[in-house]
Amino acid sequence: MTDTARAEGPPAAADGLGQPQPYGYVAAKNKDALINRMRRIEGQARGIEKMITEDRYCIDILTQIAAVSTALETVAGILLDDHVNHCVRHALTSGDEAVAAEKTTELLEAVHRFTRTR
């Protein structure tokens, strides 16, 4: 996947020339930090698997699961902030009412999905 491609959903916002623009987390130079966070989370998840394999104490495993869950929520919060401050802001200031409505709907759906998990 490239910096401006996604597995699903609409393409990156286009500039006035129709060229795709990077998403907020790319433009804000947060991409490397997000990748590092995800690698730490991946390591934590592998650690949980090892704990289960080693028959570790249930509460210790649950504590690690809670830590991974919190770490993922933090990444989601960062991405949501970037989405609002970059993608949604761009759509609202573009003057294109259809794009603004689409991004607003997309944002609300994402917030509902994110908050439904709590």
Q: What CATH number is associated with residue 52?
A: 1.20.58.1000
- Considering the domain boundaries, does residue 45 fall inside one? yes
- Considering the domain boundaries, does residue 48 fall inside one? yes
For residue 53, the Cα-to-chain-centroid distance in whole angstroms is: 30
- Considering the domain boundaries, does residue 8 fall inside one? no
Lowest mean pLDDT among 8-17, 71-80, 82-91: 8-17
Report the domain count for the chain.
1
- Considering the domain boundaries, does residue 103 fall inside one? yes
Q: Is the pLDDT of residue 76 over 50?
A: yes
28-74 pLDDT per residue, tens? 567 888 999 999 999 999 999 999 999 999 999 999 999 999 999 99
Range of the domain at 52: 24-116
Are 71 and 98 in contact by the 8 Å Cβ rule? The answer is no
- Considering the domain boundaries, does residue 74 fall inside one? yes
- Considering the domain boundaries, does residue 106 fall inside one? yes
